Structure 1
């Protein structure tokens, strides 16, 4: 019958008693308690019954105690199986994953070819996680198409504009539009194992939301059912410019700067023809972002939040209900729904 030797050292016994009561994890507390019981002559079968584990598990706990002492209470105690790859080889695995993020089989075969060492996909995955990488959806990007020098100039100019806004010299808003429909935009969600959560999906009319938003989550939004063209955008800019200067809307005489992307309805001749009028008549300046630079338009975050987090698609049964839900969410921006642009 395997038992640990009686613990006669008072300091070690006190350490085990503290670990039993206040160890950092349940695993450590169990092991410390098991060692104390074994030192008092409790057989392994009885200890296994107490902790509701396998007999072999208790045997391993006691072996670790005999081999490693206090370190044996922890899952990592510098013992056990030697790692397959050294630190340099693990970093090479990370490089290979960065090259082929979707093909772990490629990483597996390539590292075996280079080192002569083989490992399962599970082991490779565990190494990847240890190195700080996670498995998640890839995102499309157009960064390779943009003019990086122009992007950096615009980024610096935006920073200057934000500093002017912070000093109260200007109003700074970001404009864009986005479409919403009852066809769900949420491809992932937590679900019970073995069950499939189904989201109602129906063909519906589209609600286009055009919005002006600042970094304080002050939002002016205008829903449009149906198509949006340059005339629609111009009319909304006219109304927004009026709101920013009219006393009844809390307007003032500061210049308002609006950041906008290069969508075709924003760069049409009719829209551009109004820009000088907005400057002269309403103190509203329109600044265009460089192409392929959506991350500079902060209102893009609003659309993602609304579509993927805030709109309760599960409770909607018809288009009227969908309209109310869209209105509820956008009315709540700045109060119930906030975005931190810090």
Structure 2
């Protein structure tokens, strides 16, 4: 399907109205444009014909940052990372570069093959053979649990920190930036034991279990009726 842009269709209709005997002012009033625009369309039609109805190439506004200034942004994102706002603030303090919007900085970074993504506490890659072995073991345990020969519980934990590090930032595409995790004394860890959905009603009574740890903390579990057991870690 051939699609004609709105502006091209309006110019063509204006040329038709002029050919029907309307004056420039009458045509401008009908299409709610300036008189000079109608005259420009008429001259382009006379010089170029049908191609004169289409818009030419627009260069747009000149970029605020030259190639050297964009390179400074790239180098800072490569070494420090962080958000676009923090990068612009640092460059304004150190390089004295002209102010640009965060959206413009993001566009520059995308053009330089950067992406905004989460950081990781560890850059270690799990070997495929170890991952495959774990999948096989979990599969065997799942089959035993479904056959009623054992009770399979899954354990998960997460933590909260009053001063978390930067969680996301700009990095080159294909590279992941690592950050140092905070010390354990500044974190509050929460742990949970849960069962498979098919075995959600395995708990028979309400009880609390405190498991001591060598570091002076303990894990407390609370199971209510048929609900999954919920556990949390507290520090003394």
TM-score range, shorter chain: 0.3 to 0.5
User: Which structure is larger by alpha-carbon Rg, 1 or 2?
Assistant: 2
Larger helix percent: 1
Scaled by the length of structure 1, the TM-score of the pair is 0.31
Higher strand share: 2
